[in-house]
Amino acid sequence: MNMSSPTASTPMLEVRDLHAYYGKSHILQGVNITIGAGEVVSLLGRNGVGRSTTIKAIMGEVAPVGTVNFKGRSIVGLPSYRIARLGLGYVPENRDIFPTLTVRQNLALGQKKANVDGRWKLQDMLDRFPNLARRADTAAGVLSGGEKQMLTMCRTLMGDPDLIMIDEPTEGLAPLIVKQVGELISEIAARGLAILLVEQKLSIALDISSRIYVMGHGHVVFEGTPKDLAANAEVRKEWLEV
Please check the confidence at residue 110 and state whether its pLDDT lies above 90: no
Task: Read off the pLDDT of residues 33-92 as tens digits, 9 standing for 90 and up.
Answer: 999 999 999 999 999 999 999 999 999 999 999 999 999 999 999 999 999 999 999 999
Instruction: Measure the N-to-C terminal CA separation of the chain; round to a whole number of Å.
Output: 26
Q: Are 147 and 131 in contact (CB under 8 A)?
A: yes
Please check the confidence at residue 205 and state whether its pLDDT lies above 90: no
Please choose, from the candidates 108, 102, 106, 130, the residue with its C-alpha nearest in 3D space to the C-alpha of residue 120.
108
Task: Read off the pLDDT of residues 119-159 as tens digits, 9 standing for 90 and up.
Answer: 788 888 888 888 889 999 999 999 988 889 889 999 999 98
For residue 2, the model assigns a pLDDT of 45
Q: What domains sit in the chain, N to C, each tagged with a CATH number?
A: 13-239 (3.40.50.300)
pTM for this predicted structure: 0.89
For residue 115, the model assigns a pLDDT of 53
Q: Are 55 and 64 in contact (CB under 8 A)?
A: no
CA distances from 127 to 29, 120, 148, 169 (A): 43, 11, 16, 20
The Cα 176–Cα 237 span in angstroms is 29
For residue 45, the model assigns a pLDDT of 93
For residue 82, the model assigns a pLDDT of 94
Query: For helices 175-190 and 145-157, what crossing angle results, to 10°?
Result: 10
Please choose, from the candidates 197, 230, 185, the residue with its C-alpha nearest in 3D space to the C-alpha of residue 33.
197
For residue 10, the model assigns a pLDDT of 78
Q: Provide, rounded to the nearest whole percent, the portion of the chain with pLDDT above 90.
A: 63
Higher pLDDT, 180 or 82: 82
pLDDT, averaged across the chain: 89
Q: Are 63 and 20 in contact (CB under 8 A)?
A: yes
CB atoms within 10 A of CB 125: 24
Higher pLDDT, 94 or 218: 218
For residue 4, the model assigns a pLDDT of 42
Q: Provide, rounded to the nearest whole percent, the portion of the chain with pLDDT above 70.
A: 93
Please check the confidence at residue 160 and state whether its pLDDT lies above 50: yes
Specify the amino acid at residue 161: P
Task: Read off the pLDDT of residues 135-146 as tens digits, 9 standing for 90 and up.
Answer: 999 999 999 888
Higher pLDDT, 28 or 190: 28
Please check the confidence at residue 20 and state whether its pLDDT lies above 80: yes
The Cα 214–Cα 43 span in angstroms is 6
Q: Under 8 Å CB-to-CB from 239, ≥6 apart: which residues?
A: 44, 45, 46, 214, 215, 216, 221, 222
User: 158, exposed or middle or buried, with CB in 10 Å at 0-12, 13-18, 19+?
Assistant: buried
For residue 177, the model assigns a pLDDT of 82
Task: Read off the pLDDT of residues 181-191 as tens digits, 9 standing for 90 and up.
Answer: 888 888 888 88
